[in-house]
Structure 1
Amino acid sequence: MTTWSLVGALLLSVSTQVLDGREVAAVPRSVMSYANRPVLASEELANNQSDPVAKQAIATMLNDLKQAGLTNPDQGVWIQSHDGAIASGRLSSRPLPSASLTKNVTTLAALQTWGSNYRFITNISTTGKLAGNTLKGDLIIEGSGDPFFVWEEAIGLGNKLNQLGIKRIQGNLIVTGKFSMNFEPDPQESANFLRLAFDSSRWQGEVAEQYATMPAGTPKPQLVILGNVRIVPNLAVANISTSSLLIRHASLPLWQILKRMNTFSNNEMAEALATQMGGGKQVAAIAANATGMPSTEIRLINGSGLGQANQISPRATVAILMAIHNRAQVEGLTLADLYPSSQCNCGTIEGRQIPKWAIVKTGTLSDVSSLSGVLQTQEHGAIWFAIVNRGDGDIDAFHRSQDRVLQNLVAKWGLPKLPIASFAETPWQDSDRNEIAK
């Protein structure tokens, strides 16, 4: 965006808000994002004018690994400031097995493909009519690829069907389209989960435990399916072409799905998204196009990171995170809306000693441990980083050395008095996502 077009956008987008009794201009985050975008530092800078603090942090990490008996030479790192003025790295352009840092690529590709507010729709329809509390006909569930349809979603859907007066299905439960429940790739098993969720009289174990985490007062669905569970790839071929829509179930917005995927590094969610985008190679191509990075530095065979053939250079990982940040800002979000922050002490960073306000993504394979994200400092603002460690050994040793890299940077550059506003998490609250068809 040119200077003049930026000024024009600012003038067109400025609104007013009251501050201390005064009316002041308020510029939307999506517009301001253009004025403060991160700059990917050059390798030439890192090689010829390597920042001494970052360079020492990397050297300390290598020594820590050596002391722990981890001597694999393939230890990749890229550390740089938000403005690209300082940088340091090691094997920064070499594609290395990066484990679940692959999910960064999947995250960027998903945002590029669908946008942050996209919702996957699951349609619920019937071939029959309601007589009393009995639906005389089949109940049809048509999925569209929701990667986060879990017990809570199914329980809410069952309650909505009860609200329509339906307590018995005198027919079959037919599942079609791209439907998966509880991250289960087997359609039959997913359909069985759904049937169980609908009928609380049969609950025990996991479904009962998940119900207990739902808001107090949530009803327990009472919906008995008298027929069988059928998986039907094509409704027309199966002579089920006449049906009436009952409910449209919307997934969480994509950004909330990605936040859960990245916090818990959920492989099934990542694979579901990547498959819908055309697989690992296509996901990598989308990311390479969005970042301008060479395709040789982003090599994927899937969207989760499972397997040594998923290889990304540390510098490309940072470029991908920057592109995610830029995309999020334009859509009124931040990186913290897509990834866990250190203060949550949750998911894959539970128990880690990561500095305050850092936003991170972890990765783990049998001989890979990786960490990427953004660190907030007093002296240099946001610090972007990617660390890829190789070697067979105690995973905790890798974690300690990675955490120490970040701790050493903060020890030298300090923490800001307040978190950087452009990395603050956006407040959000879920709502009823089951819409009764008119």
Structure 2
Amino acid sequence: MINRLKYYNLIFITVLAASVPSIKVNAMYGHEKMTQQINQLINNEPALKGAIAGISIRSASDGKIIYGHQGDIRLRPASNMKLLTAAAALTILGEDHTFTTEIHTDGLVKKKTLHGNLYLKGKGDPTLLQSDFDKMAEDIQKRGIKKIKGNLVGDDSWYDNVRYSLDLPWSDETTHYGAQISALTASPTRDFDSGSVKVLVQPGTKKGDKPIVKITPKTNYLKINNHAVTVPEDGKKDITIEREHARNIITIEGTIPTKAKTEKEWIGVWEPTRYAVSLLNQSLTEHGIQVTGKLKTGLVPDTARILTTHQSMPLSELLVPFMKLSNNVHAEILIKEMGRVVKGEGSWEKGLSVLKNEITKYGVNPNTLVLRDGSGVSHVDLIPANQLTQLLFAVQKEKWFPSYLHSLPVAGESEKMVGGTLRNRMKDPLVRGKVYAKTGTISTVSSISGYVKTKSGQTLIFSILLNNLMDDSKGKKVEDLLITILANQ
């Protein structure tokens, strides 16, 4: 990769030294050389043999396409789909939009006992943490309630009950990025991987010990079957952490050496609504409040009254973990939220209809797209590269654009919530900190679209969609080379 960069840099420097001192001519000549460099790369790169590359490059100042290669061909965008979802959400919901979680009751309090049910109603908040349930329990405790003589009921009816998008691969069912979508869910950490738990496996102190397993948040909603074994320091590390289909049973198998690093995995839970209810029940117990009834799912009755509410962070802040870390669940929740707000139904069908309508405002032609979800996890989603650069050009005029731009991963910036999925890429000073772009990866697909500040001080908009790759990691190296060529202009 370094040798290739030196080669393309040498071409650029040679051309620059020979060019005449006219700004207009230099700009035109630079684009011609850029075209030559990009064509040579995509025609000779082994990783692209048998693959399809859709490339679109525009001027950020006037939107004119200055380079295109199959830019009108519909290709799988992977998580570049989130660029459309975020733009539509900012337009429809607004930067200040928050998600509310409510606790209702249909009973009365007598002698520190609530005679009736307690209802936990979710309205889509993907950021609920154990600490938020603790705060709700504290609010109930302050009302003098020590016992709830009734059931604890979770209400997720704000959205429909379809848990998975149309084309989610069955193999993603147990993963955090394939977690079920519910209007009532919870996250393990401030990365906000909604509907999942974080599992840590540490070696025991000596050979033959069972590894130490820690789960975040601490919960008995899932059962852990630990069949793994600690082996000597020079032994093989071979740990698997898997959840059974349709069950909240996590099985850990394999070997881990005595001084090995902690093995980490994020696992999507089965039925996130009940998961959230169980976390609230746990918080109530820890605050000295006993629930005598069952943990259930159901609807808040019209006669119930609100005891307390919790508000999420605003959408402008949620965009950071959503886009920087490419959170699929956030994308699908935003799709359903747009459907609920505009058409009164929190479903993929209604939400995608709203999205398609909104993006036309940015010059995107919906008739060129195939949209099946909000995250890009589907292998049926199809978007031409030229449509993505058109979107990225048009949104620059929106008042919410600073939040949109801020949410994009930044090349080579090591801080997780700055660099995001680009924190370990393009660390060369030529591009580090100068590329704001959304990455995408699904099997056989790699993509990246965004903005790059060039050596000459202009900003270019780009979209690179690579499909039918044998190795998507090699596709990312090609992307980095292409963007480096752009940065050199």
* TM-score scaled by length of structure 1: 0.69
- Report deviation, 1:385: 0.9
Residues of 1 paired with 2:290 and 2:270: CA distance? 20
Corresponding residue of 2:313: 252
Asked if the contact 1:123–1:249 (Cα under 8 Å) also holds between the matched residues in 2, the reply is yes
Residue correspondence of structure 1 range 30-429 to structure 2 within 5 A: 51-63=31-43, 65-66=45-46, 68=47, 70-84=48-62, 87-131=66-110, 133-176=112-155, 177-178=157-158, 179-182=183-186, 183-184=194-195, 189-199=272-282, 223-233=289-299, 235=300, 240-278=301-339, 279=348, 281-327=352-398, 330-331=399-400, 333-342=402-411, 343-344=413-414, 346=416, 347-353=420-426, 355-357=431-433, 358-410=435-487, 412-413=488-489
Go from structure 1 to structure 2 and tell me whether the alpha carbon gap of 1:224 and 1:260 turns closer, same or farther (over 3 Å shift).
farther
What code does the residue aligned with 1:257 have? L
Residue identity opposite 2:95 in structure 1: S
8 A contact 2:324–2:408 mirrored in 1: yes
Secondary structure of 1:379's aligned partner = coil
Higher mean C-alpha deviation, range 302-311 or range 54-63: 54-63
Could you tell me which runs of 5 or more consecutive residues in structure 2 were left unpaired when the two chains were aligned: 1-27, 159-182, 187-193, 196-267, 340-347
Distance 1:335 1:196, change over 3 A: closer
Q: Given that residues 415 and 423 in structure 2 are in contact (C-alpha distance below 8 angstroms), is that contact kept between their aligned partners in structure 1?
A: yes
User: C-alpha distance in 2, partners of 1:98/1:50?
Assistant: 29
C-alpha spacing 1:64/1:51, structure 2 compared with 1 (3 Å): same
Distance 1:168 1:61 in 2: 69
SS of the residue 2:409 aligns to: coil
Check the 8 A contact 2:130/2:279 in 1, yes or no.
no
CA contact (8 A) 2:120 2:277 kept: no
2:376 is paired with a residue whose SS is coil
Contact 1:72–1:391 at 8 Å: present in 2 too? yes
Q: 1:109 to 1:335 in 2, by over 3 A?
A: closer
Structure 1 CA distance, aligned partners of 2:40 and 2:112? 69
Cα RMSD (Å) of the superposition? 3.0
Shift of residue 129 of structure 1? Answer: 3.2
Residue 248 of structure 1 deviates from its aligned partner by 2.1
| 1:378 Cα offset (Å) | 4.1
Query: What percent of counterpart residues are identical?
Result: 25
Range moving further from structure 2, 273-282 or 397-406: 273-282
- Gaps of at least 5 residues in structure 1 are 1-47, 203-219, 414-438
**Matches of 1:405 and 1:270, distance apart in 2:** 28
Residue 377 and residue 169 in structure 1: after superposition, are their counterparts in 2 closer, same or farther (change >3 A)? farther
Contact 1:345/1:352 (8 A) holds in 2: no
More helix by share: 1
Cα distance change, pair 89–377 in 1 and its aligned pair in 2 (3 A)? same
Structure 1 distance, partners of 2:134, 2:392, is 35
